[in-house]
Amino acid sequence: MSSIAVPRPLTPRRAWLTDLPVLLVAVVWGASYLAAKDITTGRTVLAVLVLRFTVVLPALALVARRSLCGLTAAQWRGAALLGLILGGIFLLETYGVVHTSATNAGLIISLTMIFTPLAEAAVTRVRPPRAFLAAAGLSVLGVVLLTQGGGFTRPSLGDLLMLLAALARTVHVLAMSRIKAVQGADALSLTTVQLGAAVAVFAVLSFGADATPWATAAGFGAREWAGLLFLSVCCTLFAFFVQMWAVRRTSPSRVSLLLGTEPLWAAAAGIVLGGERLGALGLTGGALVLVGTAWGRRSAG
């Protein structure tokens, strides 16, 4: 009979030492929208994505080399399929943040926490709790107000792309839970294959483009390289390893709760560092999104 290792209850000091790195991941993820917006234009989206993940992929592959060799053919195919979906998510998010504010991007993408339980309920045909439906309605109202901060106008292209990215994230989560082949694979090898497949998609799409990865890299100054390394090292490599480290020392629910503060940090970065302004309607909408997603997470769990 196999036993499941359950993390021991943490003392307040140990809990703080575990929570702080996870909270830092939420902070850098929140800041990633502003960083991506700062170094990317509509012409360079594909080039920046290739550069961002090419920087970290060799390190991941080196660490995961043993587990990668142990993957079955079905696991490789399943992980590659997930990587194609992941590539679509990054494309939508990056093009989206180019065409909207970093604040809007971070808050709209948080709707994934509402869309995922709704999609799961539709697939399993199990009606979600009324409290969750109320939270979903509150979040949707918040997004409407958020995107209409300057008065009721048509949402921007970036807002719509971020909404599609939130739906794509939902598809990715459902696919991970339904592709049986990948369920036995460890997280490190699965992530490595997914990122590799996503980079392959970006590289193929960038062939013949005006802004190639190499030309874009050659045109980067110190600021752009700092932004790229922040996205690669902090928002990808550091974030992944902190999550793996944290779930072995605390509960997945606690990790999820801390990472759920990402939209709050995205809004803070956009307003404080990016000089973005929401207006009264936008601030109200942003607050409703945060309240709705937090409420929805609790009622769905």
Summarised one tens digit per residue, pLDDT across range 59-115 is: 899 998 999 998 999 999 999 999 999 999 999 999 999 998 888 888 888 888 778
How much is the pLDDT for 4? 38
> CA 192 to CA 20: how far, in whole Å?
25
Give me the percent of the chain exceeding a pLDDT of 70.
87
Our CA dihedral for 172, 174, 178, 179, rounded to 10 degrees, sits at: 0
CB 185 within 8 A of CB 134: no
pTM equals: 0.82
Distances (CA, A) of 8 to 5, 14, 194: 9, 11, 32
Closest C-alpha to 32, from 279, 240, 263: 263
At 259-276, the pLDDT tens digits run: 777 888 888 888 888 887
pLDDT score recorded for residue 173: 84
Element (H, E) at 28: helix 12-39
Determine the average pLDDT of the residues in 142-158. 70
Cβ–Cβ < 8 Å for 174, 120 = yes
Residue 35 · residue 230 · CB < 8 Å: yes
